[in-house]
């Protein structure tokens, strides 16, 4: 939890492009489940997943609270991880474990303002992950089992900046009135790097699968990926991130609409599906994604 509470956000930005980057410790369960999902074959390794969850009492508790929450409406209280996996399904429990692990990174923060930024980052991460999973399934993509993972982790570079330069990143965040987060350009000006590059370096330092590293690094420039299947997956991530930012954050009105973007048109062309059809699918799922995000980030709300 945050060590101190400030009443006003930091406002002064110190431009220091060259600084020693430290990566926050990633809960082992996140790394283990990320690898489990990436290595998944036709039959899910349920026993392996149960062992991973049971190895971390905090994560196990989160999974059990999740299945017993109002979101699922289970009639009888579930107190066993194996039964939770059986009832929720392998992929859903993987998603819960990954999210709960990333939520624990809030412990690296030092003020209430930074906790607020963390909350926004996590909403963006979970919302993007949910859209990515739905779109990847709808489009029947290669490596669709990893769609939630890459969606959840695609903004981890923002957490790295918040971890290394908390006051400067807070000030930069609060100075950005045109959107929910600082632009890549502003990050590069102040820090000499951006969240996509830092996120990829963090994923590499955490020994996550190369697929995850590549998607995080390239999601802002998916058209640069030569491999067709990986490019389509990165485009799906880019579209999902845009959809979440425009439709599913708390500040967005219900009247907001998902407008076509360059990434959407590139994805449309790559999968040979009309852009309007993809946009309509996004719109159809916005409420479900919003409610899912809220239930994951505010499980006790």
Domain harbouring 225, CATH code: 1.10.3210.10
Residues sharing a CB contact under 8 Å with residue 134, sequence separation 6 or more, in sequence order = 281, 285, 289
Average pLDDT of span 143-147? 91
What is the rounded CA–CA span in Å between residue 219 and residue 31? 20
**Same domain membership, residue 102 and residue 121:** no
Residues 140 and 288 in one domain: yes
How far is residue 172's CA from residue 141's CA, in Å, rounded to a whole number?
36
pLDDT score recorded for residue 1: 42
Residue 234 lies in a domain: yes
Is the pLDDT confidence value at 91 over 90? yes
Q: Mind listing the pLDDT tens digit for each residue in 24-52?
A: 999 999 999 999 999 887 788 999 999 99
Judge if 97 and 69 occupy the same domain: yes
Residue 13 reports pLDDT greater than 70: no
Structure tokens at 105: 């990174």
Same-domain check for residues 85 and 127: no
**What is the per-residue pLDDT for 2?**
45
- What DSSP line would sit under 247-265, residue for residue? HTSTTS-TT------HHHH
91 with 218, same domain: the answer is no
Residue where a domain terminates, one of 92, 108, 124: 108
Burial of 184 (0-12, 13-18, 19+ CB in 10 A): middle
Give the separation between CA 151 and CA 87, rounded to whole angstroms: 24
Record the tokens describing residue 118, joined without a space: 């963390």
What pLDDT, on the 0 to 100 scale, is given for residue 184? 93
Task: Indicate if the pLDDT at residue 254 is higher than 90.
Answer: no
For residue 16, tell me if it sits in a domain.
Answer: no
Domain hosting residue 298, numbered range: 111-301
Residues 214 and 253 in one domain: yes
- Whether residue 177 is predicted with pLDDT greater than 90 in this model: the reply is no
Average pLDDT of 52-81?
Answer: 90
The candidate with the shortest Cα–Cα distance to 196, out of 171, 225, 170, 219, is: 219
Q: Which of 160-174, 228-242, 244-258, 284-298 has the lowest mean pLDDT?
A: 244-258
Residue 6 lies in a domain: no
Q: What is the DSSP letter of 154?
A: T
- Check residue 223 and give its pLDDT: 84
Q: Is residue 153 part of a domain?
A: yes
Does the pLDDT of residue 3 top 50, yes or no? no
Name the token pair of 235: 């485009």
Place of tokens 């959809």: 243
Domain annotation covers residue 17: no
5 in any annotated domain: no
Last residue of a domain, one of 85, 108, 131: 108
**What is the percentage of the chain residues whose pLDDT exceeds 70?**
90
CB atoms within 10 A of CB 104: 19
Which band of pLDDT confidence, cut at 50, 70 and 90, is reported for residue 4?
A: very low
- The domain boundary, picked from 55, 78, 108, lies at 108
Average pLDDT, the chain: 88
Any idea of the CA torsion for 132, 30, 252, 160, to the nearest 10 degrees?
A: -120
Residue 289: inside a domain, yes or no? yes
Distance CA 204, CA 153 (A): 12
Q: Are residues 81 and 126 in the same domain?
A: no
Which of residues 173 and 43 earns the better pLDDT score? 173
d(CA 33, CA 148): 12
On whether both 206 and 140 belong to a single domain, the answer is: yes
Task: Assess contact for 149 and 37: CB atoms under 8 A.
Answer: yes
Average pLDDT, integer, range 239-258:
80
**Is 50 exceeded by the pLDDT of residue 239?**
yes
């Amino acid at each position: 939890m945050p060590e101190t509470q400030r009443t006003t956000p930091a406002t002064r930005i110190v431009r220091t492009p060259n600084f020693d980057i430290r990566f926050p410790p990633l809960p082992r369960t996140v790394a283990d489940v990320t690898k489990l999902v990436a290595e998944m074959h036709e039959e899910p390794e349920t026993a392996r997943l149960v062992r991973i969850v049971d190895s971390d009492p905090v994560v196990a508790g989160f999974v059990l609270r999740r299945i017993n929450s109002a979101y699922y409406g289970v009639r009888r209280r579930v107190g066993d991880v194996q039964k939770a996996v059986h009832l929720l399904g392998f992929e859903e429990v993987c998603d819960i474990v990954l999210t709960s692990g990333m939520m624990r990174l809030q412990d690296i923060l030092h003020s209430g303002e930074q906790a607020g930024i963390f909350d926004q980052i996590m909403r963006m991460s979970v919302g993007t992950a949910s859209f990515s999973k739905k779109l990847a399934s709808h489009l029947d993509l290669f490596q669709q089992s990893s769609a939630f993972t890459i969606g959840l982790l695609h903004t981890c570079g923002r957490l790295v900046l918040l971890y290394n330069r908390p006051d400067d990143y807070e000030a930069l965040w609060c100075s950005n009135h045109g959107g929910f987060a600082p632009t890549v350009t502003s990050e590069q000006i102040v820090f000499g790097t951006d969240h996509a590059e830092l996120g990829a370096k963090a994923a590499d330092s955490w020994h996550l699968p190369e697929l995850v590293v590549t998607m995080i690094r390239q999601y802002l420039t998916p058209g640069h990926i030569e491999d067709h299947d990986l490019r389509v997956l990165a485009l799906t991530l880019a579209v999902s991130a845009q959809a979440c930012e425009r439709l599913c954050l708390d500040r967005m009105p219900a009247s907001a609409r998902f407008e076509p973007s360059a990434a959407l048109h590139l994805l449309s062309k790559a999968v040979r599906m009309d852009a309007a059809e993809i946009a309509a699918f996004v719109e159809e799922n916005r409420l479900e994604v919003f409610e899912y995000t809220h239930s994951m980030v505010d499980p006790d709300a």
